[in-house]
Copies of this chain bind each other. A is one copy, B any other.
């Protein structure tokens, strides 16, 4: 049953904020990128480790990671020729919890 519609004017989120939110959602809305986020929530990993876990070539993992870093979801630290990625946006935990509850 849907909630009763109170017809009260609620404070709606600013449309620009919804635009930014949809950019972020679109960015994680990919099976391999969700896998990477899921793994990174338990610690940092290199490009190669994430690529292997997803079963994709590392140059493609690199591209996925770049997209997620670009919108502030991840950050990276280089160590020699390794590049470690980690979660930069703590709210990703809540999103993954929702996905885990619904699909896990």
Q: Which residues of A contact B (CB under 8 A)?
A: 2-8, 10, 12-15, 17-23, 25-26, 28-31, 33-35, 38-45, 86-87, 89, 91, 94-95, 97-104
Contact = CB atoms under 8 A, between A and B. Distances in A.
Contacts of A7: 43
Chain A interface helix/strand/loop/mixed: helix
Nearest to A26: B29
A55 to B, nearest CB: 9
A32 B73 CA distance: 22
Shortest 8 CB-CB contacts between residues of A and residues of B? A5-B43, A2-B86, A25-B29, A26-B29, A17-B103, A94-B98, A18-B31, A91-B102
Nearest to A90: B102
